[in-house]
Amino acid sequence: MSILQAQGLSKKFGGLDAVSELSFAVEAKEIFAIIGPNGAGKTTTLNMISGLIKPSAGKLKLNGQEISIKDSAERCHLGLGRAFQVVQPFPEMTVEENVLVGALFGKSGVSEATGRKLAQEVLKQTGLLALKDTPAEELTLLQEKRLEIARALATQPKVLLLDEVMAGLRPGEARQAVELVKNIRNKGVTIVFIEHVMPVVRDLADRVMVMDYGKKLAEGSYQQVTNNPQVIEAYLGAEE
């Protein structure tokens, strides 16, 4: 059974169909990329999955359970984690406390001691251990992005949504981030990510869904979609 399923997902903003009739399924432990030109509806889709905006129509299932009517916090408790393109840290808390808060509230009934242990592991995994006492507002962009991922990981997600986490990173940094994401998947977390940097998509994605004008244009391996004439015309061709 697919771990994350969308059926007929639609979102209208006024008269605009930001996303229309979108259906897809992500398998457990898969790395699933969503790509498409600006305004294709990728972030709207991610916002609907994480519960920040309500779909106009359609259904969402996480692990077979209907989540469309649940709010962000409930979805988090059910195993949905999210890291943003524009990072959303708690600026006046230290790196460690940011992650600890994720650990404490991401699942119900996590004690302070368990939370601290979990935070410690996640900090190690994301390479932030040396910065644990630094206030989040003093981090560099790369560090902020790591923190964003670390805090989401601390909520113990089954599915992690990554919204252009590579944006603004230098090539060397992006390579580090790619390794980190692979490492997270190897621990059993399913990844759904939006990305503009094509080499990153190539290196990471098991499967790619291409969106354009709110609709699914193509779906398949990186090779398949990048050789699809429709995709080339709508997306890759338009970039040259």
Partner 1 sequence: MDLTLLLQGIVSGILASGLYALVSVGLALAIGVIGIVNFAHGEFFMVGAFITYQLFISFGFDPVISLFFVAPTLFLLGGAIYQSSIRYVLKAPELNQMLLTFGISIILQNLALLIWGGDPRTISSVAYRSIGYQLGGVSIGLVPLASFLISLVIVGSLYYALLKTPAGRAMRAVAQNRMGASLIGLEVNRVYLVTFALSALLAGLGGVMIAVIQSPTPIVGFAFTLKAFAIVVLAGLGNIRGILWASLVVALSESLVATLVPNGDALRNAVFFAIIFVVLIARSRRLA
Number of residues that bind partner 1 (CB under 8 A): 28
Closest to 185 measured CA to CA, from 4, 75, 31: 31
CB 46 within 8 A of CB 82: yes
CB 11 within 8 A of CB 55: yes
Residue 88 interacts with partner 1 (CB under 8 A): yes or no: yes
Closest to 215 measured CA to CA, from 41, 57, 37: 41
Query: Using only C-alpha atoms, what is the Rg of the chain?
Result: 18
Contact stretch for partner 1 (CB under 8 A) within 66-74, 185-193, 211-219, 228-236: 66-74
Which is closer to partner 1, CB of 55 or CB of 102? 102
Closest to 102 measured CA to CA, from 84, 78, 118: 118
| Residues 6-65 contacting partner 1, CB under 8 A | 50, 52
**Single-letter amino acid, residue 240:** E
**Residue 238 C-alpha from the chain's centroid:** 25
Q: List the one residue from 13, 65, 66, 72 that touches partner 1 (CB under 8 A).
A: 72
Query: Rounded CA gap, 205 and 64, in Å?
Result: 23
| Residues 137-166 contacting partner 1, CB under 8 A | 151-152, 154-155
Which is closer to partner 1, CB of 49 or CB of 208? 49
Which is closer to partner 1, CB of 136 or CB of 218? 136
Residue 121 interacts with partner 1 (CB under 8 A): yes or no: no
Beta carbon of residue 76, minimum distance to partner 1 (angstroms, whole number):
4
Beta carbon of residue 99, minimum distance to partner 1 (angstroms, whole number):
10
Residue 92 interacts with partner 1 (CB under 8 A): yes or no: yes
Q: Is 16 helix (H, G, I), strand (E, B) or coil?
A: strand
Contact footprint for partner 1 (CB under 8 A): 50, 52, 71-73, 76-77, 81-82, 88-93, 97, 100-102, 104-107, 112, 151-152, 154-155
